[in-house]
Amino acid sequence: MTVIEASATPPRRLAWQLAEVREIAVETPRVKSLLLHVPAWQGHLPGQHVDIRLTAEDGYQAQHSYSIASPPEDELLALTVELVDDGEVSPYLIDNVRAGDQFELRGPIGGYFVWTIATEGPLCLIAGGSGIAPLAAMLRHRARRKDRTPALLVYSSRTLEDIIYREELETMAQRDSNLRLVNTLTRKQPEGWTGYRRRIDKAMLAEVAFPPEQDPKIFICGPTPLVEDASRFLVELGHPFPTIKTERFGPTGGLAS
Q: Closest separation between CB of residue 250 and other proteins, Å?
A: 6
Question: 3-class DSSP state for residue 182?
Answer: strand
Q: Which of 43, 59, 100, 111 forms a contact with other proteins (CB under 8 A)?
A: 111
Please give the Cα distance from 138 to 46 (Å, whole number): 5
> Which residues have CB under 8 Å from 245's CB, separation 6+?
112, 113, 217, 218, 219, 220
Pure H helices in 9-118: 90-95
Q: Which is nearer to other proteins, 32 or 49 (CB)?
A: 49
Q: Which is nearer to other proteins, 195 or 225 (CB)?
A: 225
CB of 223 to other proteins, least distance (A): 9
Closest CB to other proteins among 60 and 241? 241
| Comparison of 112 and 167: residue with beta carbon closer to other proteins | 112
The verdict on 8 binding other proteins (CB under 8 A) reads: no
Within 193-222, the residues that bind other proteins by CB under 8 A are none
Binders in 35-94 for other proteins, by CB under 8 A: 49, 51, 65
Residue 109 makes contact with other proteins by CB under 8 A:
yes
Q: Which segments of the chain are extended strands (E)?
A: 17-28, 31-37, 49-55, 61-67, 77-82, 102-109, 123-128, 151-157, 179-185, 217-222, 244-248
CB of 231 to other proteins, least distance (A): 10
Q: Which of residues 234-253 bind other proteins (CB under 8 A)?
A: 241-242, 245-251
Interface stretch with other proteins, choices 36-44, 105-113, 183-191, 204-212 (CB under 8 A): 105-113
CA distance 216 to 54: 39
Question: Is residue 255 a contact point for other proteins (CB under 8 A)?
Answer: yes
DSSP string, 218-248: EEEEESHHHHHHHHHHHHHTT--GGGEEEEE
Cα–Cα distance measured from residue 257 to residue 109, given in angstroms and rounded to the nearest whole number: 11
47 backbone dihedrals φ, ψ, rounded to 5°: 115, -15
State which residue, 211 or 250, has the beta carbon closest to other proteins. Answer: 250
- Region of 125-133, 179-187, 197-205, 223-231 interacting with other proteins (CB under 8 A): 223-231
Between helix 132-144 and helix 166-174 the angle, nearest 10°, is 40
Which residues in this chain contact other proteins in the complex, by CB under 8 A? 11, 13-14, 49, 51, 65, 106, 109-114, 224-225, 228, 241-242, 245-251, 255-257
